[in-house]
Amino acid sequence: MAKKRILSGMRPTGKLHLGNYVGALENWTKLQDEYQSFHLIADYHVLTTDLSTDEIYNNTIEMVIDWLAAGLEPEKAPIFRQSQIKEHTELFLIFSMLITKARLERNPTLKEQVRDLNIENLTYGHLGYPVLQAVDILLYKGDVVPVGEDQLPHIEITREIARRFNNQYCSDEPIFPEPEGKITQFARLPGLDGNRMSKSLGNTIFLSDEPDVVNQKLRKAVTDPQKVRKNDPGRPEICLVFTYHKKFNPEELGEIETNCRSGALGCVECKTKCSAKMNQFLAPIIERRKKYEANLDLVKSIINDGEQKARAIAEVTMKEVHQKMKIG
């Protein structure tokens, strides 16, 4: 049987952090054998919240280096920019007729963004963010979309658009799948201040952070505020560093929990253990990153190759769409 297809994407925000990794990228690398995967760089999506384009290219390269360093294998799983496949804009126009303005205004991810970024005048394109995302997924007939939790509403909109198109234009046989979102176990890794890990909050640990940087950042991380002195008993369930141990140091988890509660383990030592594990995890990623940094032509040619593969598929889908719609 043919492999099911994954379509996943990220906006190019530059260097990635552990939150990006744990929330999505880790799943991408794990699933690339079981599925036929495509990885999309959502460069047009950047414009929804930031019209300046100066950084998009560099941010794209930095992000792709992190993807590769984290273990994506582009021969198996092509990497491409949305902007370079013109079928995205074409299908976006068609899909925008298949969903109402009221439906898009109910999108909780949009509401959150409007609130967090203090957006007073929402653009037509920003309102249409999930429509463009639906195109990203459906042009490649993605069955499964591994994303962070915040993206599930967009997958739901994608399913609705697929259904609407199929009902309206494909009386014989539907052409679009209704894709499913797949979230990771640690869908949200908190940042160093306990909030959601996010570049704009300045609370990140980057995949490219060298050991001394990680050590320093963890030293400042918040822990249980009631554990003031080394031998005070702590509450792992509310401790950020304990959350990091869960992810990066599962072997020692039980021991750390016991010794934190009893007061035998102080926060300084606990943090040292934690950063050692994180650094162990990051070491191979940093090493691979250096190889790609030293060979940018390779990175560019990987993107180029990916775009050729993506384009071939997008062209076929678009032809089908035109046929079904009796256009052209």
Chain residues in the site for ligand TRP (CB under 6 A): 7-11, 40, 42, 45, 133, 136-137, 145, 147, 151, 154
Nearest-approach distance from CB 2 to ligand TRP, in angstroms: 20
* SS3 call for 121: coil
Residue 20: CB minimum distance to ligand TRP, A: 9
Closest distance of CB 154 from ligand TRP, Å:
6
Closest CA to 325 of 215, 176, 174, 169: 169
Q: Which is nearer to ligand TRP, 10 or 25 (CB)?
A: 10
By beta carbon distance, the residue nearest ligand TRP is 9
5-10 and 79-81: which strand pairing? Answer: unpaired
The three state secondary structure string of 223-287 is: CCCCCCCCCCCCCHHHCHHHHHHHHHCHHHHHHHHHHHHHCCCCHHHHHHHHHHHHHHHHHHHHH
Are the beta carbons of 271 and 214 closer than 8 angstroms?
A: no
- Shortest Cβ 300–ligand TRP spacing (Å): 21
Q: Which lies closer to ligand TRP via its Cβ, residue 27 or residue 208? A: 27
CB of 276 to ligand TRP, least distance (A): 31
Closest CA to 27 of 75, 63, 77, 80: 77
Question: Minimal distance in Å, beta carbon 40 to ligand TRP?
Answer: 6
**Residue 198 in 3-state DSSP?**
coil
Nearer to ligand TRP (CB atom), residue 40 or residue 162: 40
Residue 101's identity, in one-letter code, is: K
Q: Please, which residue, 181 or 266, has the CB nearer to ligand TRP?
A: 181
- How far is CA 51 from each of CA 86, 95, 160, rounded to the nearest angstrom? 20, 23, 29
Q: Do residues 178 and 145 make contact, with C-beta atoms less than 8 angstroms apart?
A: no
CB atoms within 10 A of CB 60: 23
- Tell me whether residue 151 or residue 184 sits nearer to ligand TRP (CB atom): 151
| Residue closer to ligand TRP (CB basis): 165 or 242 | 165
Write down the least CB distance from residue 234 to ligand TRP, Å. Answer: 34
Which DSSP helix (H) or strand (E) runs through 104?
helix 101-105
The DSSP code for 180 is E
| Closer Cβ to ligand TRP, 42 or 70, answer by number | 42
